[in-house]
């Protein structure tokens, strides 16, 4: 029999029933769980083909809950989550998939594609950040600001279903049914099975909306006044009778009347015309002053608005830099986790050298506890074994006077011996110093001899090391 869980073959005994003797799993139940998981995966795939992303997410989540090793379902669930704007959940599922299945796994391509396209990831991250700000505004009953920010979030990620649903709700709060229905229809075009959008759409009656718009149109026509025929203004014609000037001499009465007429004219102008002209001039000056003050206020408001805009842009730049640093750390953590998981796979396959070389120089600090435990397990077991192998190969090469190969082997042993037995570490340093002393690099030989004398004063070969160090120093003094 072949176990469907661990893949090992075993001889089935009636006394053991259906239990695998290697992994202790009931093969019948496990095979049934695999079939159920595959069926749910196929059902989720069918729902994706009809744009039912919510239904597909539910089926795929149940699929991996039945069989957590179903990497196909996990990868597809990550794609659905990424499509709906849940980037963090998608990355989580792909990283778990990489840990479950090494080699030919599409999750590696997905993660690599995200790492290469940092600009798109920043846009999605900004969309989520602005969406959270809109939630905060809405909780403070500032639905106008929430609508503005939700539109910005949707502009960054047009398929952000949560933001579209929240924008639908905001339009419903403001009783703008036409925009609310448009948003609900947009969500359903992306995710036909979205329960939130369906509930909004059922509450907002499209037929009632059409009738309302028709009634408003009719009422607007009824309220429009009819045009009245234009009436021509009445023209009053004044007849001017010109008296012929008769020839004759001017009399005193005429002169006095002329003077009185001139004086009266100046008096009328002084009383009526000049004050009116002065009032007009004063009014124009006051109006100019008011316009100047308004222009100054508008200028100050524009300057303040620009200052606020500059401050907001600087804040956005700082946030973007913080987001870049955050995602860089996340990518670094993911990369280190993947390298440790790769080394652990080599370690499980007894490929000690590949495992030790793959994990060497990787700092597991800040990674999940299970990843750190795997790194510690490799270092505590693989490093001492690999150091002993290189040490033995170096001794053989040293005894054969192949000092160049011995140097390479002892340097490799030195790299891994520092994590093991201190006495063995001192032995490696001793041989490495002697190897360098045979004409390869006397400075390095002095360095390692002095380290042996200072760090391992109780070493059993301390006297030969001291003698050889003195010879090298005497040789340098002669030259």
How many domains, in total, are found in the chain?
Answer: 4
Is residue 58 in a domain?
yes
- Say yes or no: 90 and 154 in one domain: no
In a domain, 191, yes or no: yes
Q: Is residue 334 part of a domain?
A: no
- For 234, which DSSP code? P
Say if residue 42 is in the same domain as residue 63: yes
**Nearest Cα to 120, choosing from 156, 74, 169?**
156
- Give a yes or no: residue 449 inside a domain: yes
Q: List Cβ neighbours of 1 (8 Å cut-off, separation of 6 or more).
A: 9, 10, 11, 12, 27
Q: Cα(437)–Cα(432) distance, rounded to whole angstroms?
A: 9
Which residues have CB under 8 Å from 147's CB, separation 6+?
134, 167, 170, 171, 174
Residues 102 and 42 both lie in one domain: yes
**Is 99 contained in some domain?**
yes
Residues 70 and 167 in one domain: no
Sequence-separated (6 or more) residues with CB below 8 Å from residue 438: 403
pLDDT in tens, the chain (479 residues): 666 666 566 565 544 556 775 565 666 676 777 788 889 889 888 888 887 888 888 898 888 888 888 888 888 998 888 888 888 888 888 888 888 887 788 888 888 888 888 788 888 888 888 989 888 888 888 888 889 989 988 888 888 888 888 989 998 888 888 888 888 888 888 888 888 888 888 888 655 443 333 333 333 333 333 333 333 333 233 333 333 334 444 455 556 767 777 676 666 566 655 565 566 767 777 778 888 888 888 888 888 888 888 888 888 888 888 777 777 767 777 888 888 888 878 877 878 777 777 777 777 778 888 888 888 888 778 888 888 889 999 999 999 989 999 999 999 888 888 777 888 888 999 999 999 988 778 889 899 999 999 988 888 888 998 998 888 888 766 65
Q: State pTM to two decimals.
A: 0.40
> Domain boundary at 53, 86, 116, which?
116
Give, as one character, the DSSP assignment of residue 9: B
Q: Tell me, yes or no, whether 62 lies in a domain.
A: yes
By the 8 A CB rule, do 106 and 74 touch? no
Domain containing 289 equals 264-307
- Residue 188 sits in a domain whose CATH number is 1.25.40.10
Same domain, 389 and 471: yes
275 within some domain = yes
133 and 110 co-located in one domain: no
Same domain, 405 and 455: yes
Distance of CA 90 to the CA centre of its chain: 12
362 and 332 Cβ atoms separated by less than 8 Å: no
pLDDT at 124: 83
Q: Which of 197, 160, 161, 201 is nearest to 181 (CA)?
A: 201
Q: Are residues 456 and 382 in the same domain?
A: yes
Domain shared by 112 and 164, yes or no: no
Residue 472 lies in a domain: yes
Helix/strand/coil for 27: helix
pLDDT at 343: 81
pLDDT, residue 241, reads: 34
Q: Are residues 127 and 109 in the same domain?
A: no
Tell me: do 199 and 277 sit in the same domain: no
* 107/154 same-domain check: no
Q: What is the per-residue DSSP string for 184-195? A: HHHHHHH-TT-H
């Amino acid at each position: 029999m072949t176990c469907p869980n661990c893949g090992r073959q075993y001889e089935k005994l009636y006394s053991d029933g259906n239990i695998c003797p290697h992994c202790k799993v009931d093969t019948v139940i496990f095979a049934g769980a695999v079939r159920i998981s595959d069926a749910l995966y196929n059902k989720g795939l069918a729902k994706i083909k009809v744009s039912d992303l919510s239904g597909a997410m539910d089926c795929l989540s149940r699929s991996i809950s039945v069989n957590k090793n179903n990497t196909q379902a996990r990868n597809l669930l990550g794609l659905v989550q990424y499509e709906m704007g849940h980037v963090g959940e998608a990355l989580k599922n792909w990283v778990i998939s990489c840990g479950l299945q090494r080699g030919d796994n599409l999750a590696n391509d997905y993660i690599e594609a995200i790492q290469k396209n940092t600009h798109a990831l920043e846009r999605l991250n900004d969309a989520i950040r602005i969406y959270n700000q809109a939630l905060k505004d809405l909780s403070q009953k500032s639905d106008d600001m929430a609508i503005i920010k939700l539109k910005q979030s949707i502009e960054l990620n047009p398929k952000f279903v949560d933001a579209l649903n929240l924008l639908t709700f905001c339009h419903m709060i403001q009783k703008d049914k036409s925009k609310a229905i448009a948003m609900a229809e947009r969500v359903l075009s992306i995710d036909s099975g979205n329960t939130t959008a369906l509930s909004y759409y059922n509450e907002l009656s499209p037929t009632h909306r059409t009738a309302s718009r028709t009634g408003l149109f009719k009422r607007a026509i009824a309220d429009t006044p009819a045009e009245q025929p234009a009436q021509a203004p009445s023209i009053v014609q004044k007849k001017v009778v010109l008296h012929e000037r008769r020839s004759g001499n001017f009399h005193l009465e005429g002169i006095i009347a002329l003077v009185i007429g001139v004086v009266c004219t100046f008096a009328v102008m002084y009383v009526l015309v000049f004050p009116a002209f002065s009032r007009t001039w004063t009014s124009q000056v006051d109006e100019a002053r008011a316009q100047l003050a308004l222009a100054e206020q508008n200028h100050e408001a524009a300057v303040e608005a620009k200052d606020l805009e500059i401050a907001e842009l600087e804040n956005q730049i700082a946030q973007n830099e913080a987001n870049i640093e955050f995602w860089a750390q996340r990518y670094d953590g993911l990369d280190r986790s993947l390298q440790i998981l790769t080394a652990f796979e080599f370690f499980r396959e007894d490929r000690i050298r590949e495992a030790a070389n793959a994990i060497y120089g990787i700092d597991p600090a800040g990674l999940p506890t299970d990843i750190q435990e795997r790194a510690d397990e490799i270092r505590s077991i693989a490093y001492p074994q690999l150091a002993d192998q290189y040490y033995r190969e170096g001794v053989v090469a040293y005894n054969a006077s192949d000092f160049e190969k011995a140097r390479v082997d002892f340097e490799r042993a030195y790299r891994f011996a520092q994590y093991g037995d201190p006495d063995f570490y001192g032995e490696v340093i001793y041989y490495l110093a002697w190897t360098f002393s045979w004409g390869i690099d006397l400075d390095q030989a002095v360095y390692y001899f002095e380290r042996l004398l200072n760090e391992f004063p109780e070493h059993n070969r301390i006297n030969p090391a001291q003698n050889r160090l003195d010879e090298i120093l005497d040789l340098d003094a002669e030259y």
